[in-house]
Each structure stands twice: as C-alpha cells, then as structure tokens.
Amino acid sequence: MHVDLLKDIILTNIFSYLSLHDLRNSSLVCKRWYRLLNDEDNDVWRLHCIRRLAEEVLSSDLLSSTPTYKAKLKAFYHAWNPEDCSRNIYIKPNGFTIHRNPVAQSTDAVRGKIGFSQGRHAWEVMWEGPLGTVAVVGIATKEASLQTHGYIALLGSDEQSWGWNLVDNHLLHNGDSQGNYPMLNNAPKYQVGERIRVILDCDDNTLAFERNYEFLGVAFRGLPEKLLYPSVSAVYGHTEVSMVYLGPPLDG
C-alpha cells in the first residue's frame, strides 16, 4: 500500500473520533489535513454520520437535499431542539421530525437548535400529517411562546415571531395578518408532503419562501438584528413536521 494512502487512512480514523470544534482546528494545521477535511463526502464525515445519525434517516429520502455526509451532519446539528419545544411535542428518533401529541385546545411550537443573526440561511420544512385549522412555518426569537390555550396561529401571534399559515395563505406577525402570500391570484394551497424552503437573509433582514423550487417572493422585511430560529406551530394531533437545514441558499 502506498505510504500516503496509508497515512490518509490513519488520519481518517483519528479524525472520525474528534469533535467538530477539533476538526475545524485540525483543518488549519497543514495543507494535507485541510485537503482531507475539505472533502465533504469522505470517510471522516461518513463515520461521523454513522455515529450520530439514526440509520433510518440515512437510508431515507428525508436528507435528499443534503448531498454530502458533512451536509447531513450539519443538518443534524441544526435540527429541531428537544429542549426548546412545547411539552406536547417530542422529537422522533430520527432527530429531524417532531410529533405533536393529540392534546385538545392547545397550540404547540418548536424551535431549531441554532439561531441566526448573520449571513444567509436556508432550510426545508415538510408537513407530514394533516394541517388542521392552523399550520404555521417561519421564525421566532427565544422570547416567543411555545404553547398556548386554544387553536390559534401561535407563530406570528406576537412581536417575537413571523409566520406563514399554510392553511389560509396568510402572513402573520404581532397578532395581525400581514396580507395574503404568495401574492398570486388563486394561489394554490399547501399539499401535505411538499417541501417548503425557508430563506432567511440576516444581512438584508428579510424572510422568503420557496415551494417546489419556485421562489414565492419576500414575505417579511425589517427583521430585527437578533437571533432568529427556525420554528413551526401546529394544532393537529399526531401531525408530524420535519426540518432539514441546507446552509446558504443557492441564488438563481
């Protein structure tokens, strides 16, 4: 076996046990280590995925929009936060999907693990169960409520959250409707299973959406310069919602 190849195999095994923080530091040591760690689909990232991600999610099409092992791992670290959701919601073993328990007269929400205040970010949301009377996708600060009595559009009900109600195509913020969205005549309603792409531009302070790879336009402008988290709120019992972080959006 060629000596350089043997060195890469040994390095790969060592790197597969390091934390992400240590991997970032390791990539700065020398060109060889940078080259090895800059390959987002090699065995370093594959082994990290195998150790951290559920086998069912790696073999499913849920992560089909994340083409490399490193991208899948990044999506996992940005997924729904089991410590930051309503008591009526739990995160399924796959790590990416919430399940809302059938609790009457309650609206329940969840936030992602990581919030954003700089740069441009995109993630996909898939509603994999009935929408019910209210199903809202958008963003929230840490101050936004995650549970309330009754069936309401919780996301968008205060000044700490912004949402798009997929049931009636209304934009919501501070408890008020901000108009119809998208701005189309007879805009089609969301179909269960469709992928909604959320695009947060912290540099331009805007929030926009795509559906089926069609850009629907800017939904909100003038967002505050504070940490903003992916979020959804739901009312229907046993409904499930997945979220997959994609990274910076691709223009065009």
- How far apart CA 23 and CA 158 sit, in angstroms, is 40
The label of the residue with tokens 């919030």 reads: 115
- How far apart CA 67 and CA 61 sit, in angstroms, is 11
Query: What value does the mean pLDDT take over residues 139-146?
Result: 98
| Residue ranges making up the domain that contains 223 | 80-247
User: Does residue 69 sit in the same domain as residue 111?
Assistant: no
The 10 Å Cβ neighbour count of residue 126 is: 18
Confirm if 251 and 130 have CB atoms less than 8 A apart.
no
Residue 189 has pLDDT above 80, yes or no: yes
Position 3 scores a pLDDT of 44
The label of the residue with tokens 């999506």 reads: 75
Provide the domain count of the chain.
Answer: 2
User: Does residue 127 sit in the same domain as residue 42?
Assistant: no
**Residue that terminates a domain, selected from 23, 40, 74:** 74
**Residue that terminates a domain, selected from 25, 46, 74:** 74
User: Does residue 161 sit in the same domain as residue 103?
Assistant: yes
1 is a domain residue: no
Residue 6 has pLDDT above 70, yes or no: no
User: Does residue 69 sit in the same domain as residue 153?
Assistant: no
User: Does residue 53 sit in the same domain as residue 98?
Assistant: no
pLDDT tens digits, one per residue of 91-124? 999 999 999 999 999 999 999 999 999 999 999 9
Confirm if 139 and 229 have CB atoms less than 8 A apart.
yes
Q: How confident is the model at residue 1 (pLDDT cuts 50, 70, 90)?
A: very low
Residue 252 has pLDDT above 60, yes or no: no
Q: What are phi and psi of 153, to 5 degrees?
A: -85, 85
Give the rounded distance of the alpha carbon of 206 from its chain centre. 17
User: Does residue 47 sit in the same domain as residue 85?
Assistant: no
Q: How confident is the model at residue 234 (pLDDT cuts 50, 70, 90)?
A: very high
Half-sphere exposure at residue 93, Cβ-oriented, CA atoms within 13 angstroms: 4
Position 23 scores a pLDDT of 83
User: Does residue 13 sit in the same domain as residue 111?
Assistant: no
User: Does residue 125 sit in the same domain as residue 217?
Assistant: yes
Residue 18 has pLDDT above 90, yes or no: no
Query: What value does the mean pLDDT take over residues 197-224?
Result: 95
Instruction: Note the pTM of the prediction, 2 decimals.
Output: 0.91
Give the rounded distance of the alpha carbon of 130 from its chain centre. 20
The label of the residue with tokens 């919430």 reads: 98
Residue among 129, 70, 74 at smallest CA distance from 98: 129
pLDDT tens digits, one per residue of 46-97? 988 998 999 889 989 999 999 999 999 999 999 999 999 999 999 999 999 9
Helices (H) and strands (E) in the chain, counts: 6, 15
Residue 222 has pLDDT above 70, yes or no: yes
**Mean pLDDT computed over every residue of the chain:** 91
User: Does residue 67 sit in the same domain as residue 96?
Assistant: no
